Structure 1
Amino acid sequence: MLYFLIKGLHVAADMIWVGGMLINAFVIAMVPPPIRGGVITALRRYDRIVTTGALGLVWLLGLILAFGYIGFSGGWLHLKLLIVVMLSALHGMQSKWLRRMEADPLLDPPAFVRKGMPIVLVSLVIVVMLAEVKPF
């Protein structure tokens, strides 16, 4: 019973985190410089409180599941963890560039940060497939 509660909270935190990363990616890539300032100011507050909080919960609950219930025996889990580490790094880069773009709305981030939406979505599909199918 406790396993399913932790797993459910882990999945819910995943959805909140990924949703926040997609919002960040949209604002970084699509919002024109003249209106970036106000939009980014509001988004940074949401990102700090909600998205980063969900990221912390994802890691905490994921590690509890890995150490307490699943173990680190499956190769699928290692690949999933690698992708989650990369997504965590992308979130850090998004936060950094939102901060920089708030200070100077004319700045454009590097392509990797601007292309956050497809990176997040493809990573999400791979992680879900790994967790559900456990192919290796």
Structure 2
Amino acid sequence: MLYFVLKSLHIISDIVWVGGMLINAFVIAMVPPTIRTGVISALRSYDRRVTTTALGGAWLFGIILAVWYGWYTTGWFGFKFLIVVMLSALHGMQSAWLRRMEADPHLDPPAFVRLGMPIVLVSVVVVVLLAIVKPF
């Protein structure tokens, strides 16, 4: 029973975290400079309260599951862990660029941050496949 509760909390945290990252990526890539300040101010508040909390939950519940069930020694988990570290770093970059863009709406972030949507979506597909199939 505890396994299913932890797994559910991990998946819920993942969904909220990924949703927040996709919203961040959309605003960074698509919102024109003329309206950036107001949109980014609201988004930064949401990002701090909801997305970052979900990121913490995903890490917490994921690490608990990996340690309690011994997955940390498997190859698929190592690859999944690497992707999650990359997504966490991307979230940090998104947050930093949102802060900078709020201060100066005419700044344009580097391509890696602007291309957040496809990076997040492809990463999620790979992570889900690794977690379900456990290929190695």
TM-score (norm 2): 0.99
Give percent identity, aligned residues only.
74
What is the match of residue 50 of structure 2?
50
Number of residue pairs matched by the alignment: 136
CA distance in 2, matches of 1:121, 1:9: 20
CA contact (8 A) 1:3 1:69 kept: no
| One-letter amino acid of the structure 1 residue matched with residue 90 of structure 2 | L
Please state if 1:25 is matched with 2:25.
yes
Deviation at 1:72, TM superposition (A): 1.7
CA distance in 2, matches of 1:84, 1:61: 13
Q: 1:76-124: CA deviations, max 9, x gaps?
A: 0000000000000000000000000000000000000000000000000
Aligned residue number for residue 38 of structure 1: 38
Unaligned runs of 5+ in 2: none
The alignment yields a C-alpha RMSD, in angstroms, of 0.6
The letter for the 1-side match of 2:88 is S
Normalising to structure 1: TM-score of the pair? 0.99
- After TM superposition, where is structure 1 displaced by more than 2 Å over at least 4 residues in a row? none
